[in-house]
Amino acid sequence: MSLRLGDTAPNFKAQTTAGEIDFYEYLGNNWGILFSHPADYTPVCTTELGKTALLKNEFEKRNVKVLAVSVDPLDKHLGWIKDINETQNCEVNFPIIADEDRKVATLYDMIHPNASENFTVRSLFVIGPDKKIKLMITYPASTGRNFNEVLRVVESLQLTANHSVATPADWKHGEDVIVVPAVSTEDAIQKFPKGVKVIKPYLRYTPQPNLDN
């Protein structure tokens, strides 16, 4: 059965480039990103893992722990990391799961037979501290992911989890957000002291509430 938003992310134990891990223990109380790669020593995957390593500080600032998965064996991962570090001018600093038996790929429905019977598609899951799946993005093997978009959606998820707001199209950190319909305009004025701009009764904006100014 396919996973859906709001489902509990399945726990697992796996061998990784950082040793054996228990997924839940690895995440702790942090947010998590689990993302799959079709195969080692492939060009698009090489750039993606490099980009992830280069964004280490950005993920840490958002309390996000990253974990990659590929169906290739551990020794192949370790050799590939050397290539990634060399070609992407980075240091891969997060675990890569060696999922030879497809256990994790199957748990998270990462193999789509109509795309490939053997390799994972580019699946990405954002998992909250409550171990619930907050976001899923799936790309074909031929298209690399936009990791600035991944950071953007994580910021949106963290913001909207703690405040009664939603983020509009193309929202970026620091821009105005939308008051959710469940909050009346009268209550919104009390709740958001920075101000509420009413465009329509159902469309009301307020400055991002978790900023200091």
Domain boundaries, the chain: 13-145, 163-206
Residue 101 reports pLDDT greater than 90: no
User: 115 falls in which pLDDT band (50, 70, 90)?
Assistant: very low
CA angle (131, 134, 136) in 5-degree steps: 115
Average pLDDT, the chain: 91
Question: What region does 174 belong to: left with phi over 0, alpha with psi -120 to 50, or beta?
Answer: left
Topology classification of domain 163-206: Antioxidant, Horf6; Chain A, domain 2 (3.30.1020)
CATH value of 13-145 in 3.40.30.10, 3.90.1280.20, 3.40.50.1100, 2.40.50.100: 3.40.30.10
What's residue 213's pLDDT? 57
CA distance 7 to 13: 19
Residue 112 reports pLDDT greater than 60: no
| Catalytic status, residue 45 | yes
Mean pLDDT along residues 65-72: 92
User: 120 falls in which pLDDT band (50, 70, 90)?
Assistant: low
Residue 77 reports pLDDT greater than 50: yes
Catalytic residue among 45, 110, 133, 150: 45
Instruction: Quote the pTM value.
Output: 0.90
What's residue 46's pLDDT? 94
CA distance 132 to 3: 11
Which spans in 2-111 are helix H?
A: 23-27, 43-54, 56-61, 74-88, 103-107
Q: Which of 135, 93, 118, 150 is nearest to 38 (CA)?
A: 118
Residue 114 reports pLDDT greater than 50: no
Q: Which of 163, 149, 161 is nearest to 208 (CA)?
A: 163
Mean pLDDT along residues 3-12: 94
The residue with tokens 């390593």 is 53
What Rg, from alpha-carbon coordinates, does the chain have?
19
CA angle (101, 106, 109) in 5-degree steps: 150
Q: Would you say 8 and 131 are in contact if contact means Cβ atoms under 8 Å apart?
A: yes
What's residue 10's pLDDT? 95
Residue 8 reports pLDDT greater than 90: yes
Residue 82 reports pLDDT greater than 90: yes
